[in-house]
Structure formats: structure tokens, C-alpha cells
Structure 1
């Protein structure tokens, strides 16, 4: 699945886009001023629990938060 495919599926399942997840991560203390200060395991556990995302989809959000990928990434 392409990165854009992951984002589309996440939006369909949760109603949230990357900006929403960035804001939620900031509110939860996983990021500070846009800089990630949490480990991948913490992020994926949160997303799996709160949004029922699978591991691959949770890792896509982690990649966004870490800055590895962005909304334009393939």
C-alpha cells in the first residue's frame, strides 16, 4: 500500500487527517513544538488503542510525526 493509501484509509476510518493527528500528539505530550519526543511504540500503542488502527497505519502516523514522511509522500 502506498503512503497516500495509508493516509486515505486512516482518514476514512477515523475522520482525522495528518494535521489532526499532529494536534492530538501535541495535546498528549508526544510532541512539543512539532518535535517528536516519544518512541514509536508509545505512538503506535496510542493509535491502536484510541483509533483501532493496525500497526502499519499507526506507523504511517508515526512517520508523519517524526518527519520521515509528509502529506505529499508517495
Structure 2
């Protein structure tokens, strides 16, 4: 599953775009210096995410929309088309 697919699954589950969730996290005071476990606990308790999806979104909270290019342009199961994640939601990509 690509990183973007994780974000899409989170959006489908919560009804919130990644950007909306990021803003909620920032309103909680979470950012680049927040420990991952704190963010994961919040995402699991308040947002209802499972551990894997919470860990994936924690990266967005701590590092933003840019991801490493290890899987960009590859053919593996974790491939991504870009090293920049779309946070504006599924509908924005479909229009």
C-alpha cells in the first residue's frame, strides 16, 4: 500500500481530509517535535484510527507532506507516484 493510499484510507474512515486532520493535530499542539507515541495515542483515542494508520499519519504531522523517494517511481507494493503527498483530499484529485 502506498503512503498516499494510507492517507486515502484514513480520509474514507474519518470523513476528514488529511489537511483537516493535520489542522486538528496542530490545534492539539502537535508538530515536528512531538513524540510519535503521543500523536499515535491521540489518533487512536480521539480519531479512531488503528495503529498502522496512526503511525502513517504521525509522519505527516511530524514531517509534513514530503516523503522520502525510496519507493517513488518503483513497481513494488509500497510505490508512490510522487515524493509529495496530497493532503487536500480524494475529491480534489478527482475534479
User: Same fold by TM (over 0.5)?
Assistant: yes
> What residue number does 1:6 align with?
6
> What residue number does 2:62 align with?
66
Q: Which has the higher strand share?
A: 1
Q: Calculate the aligned-residue CA RMSD, in Å.
A: 1.5
Q: How many matched pairs?
A: 68
TM-score by length of 1: 0.79
The whole-number CA distance in structure 2 between the counterparts of 1:53 and 1:26 is 17
Does the Cα contact within 8 Å between 1:40 and 1:59 map onto a contact in 2?
yes
Structure 1 segments unaligned to the other structure (5+ residues): none
Structure 2 segments unaligned to the other structure (5+ residues): 68-83, 87-95
Task: Flag as ranges the 4+ runs of structure 1 deviating above 2 A.
Answer: none
Q: Which has the larger radius of gyration?
A: 2
Q: Which has the higher helix share?
A: 1
TM-score by length of 2: 0.63
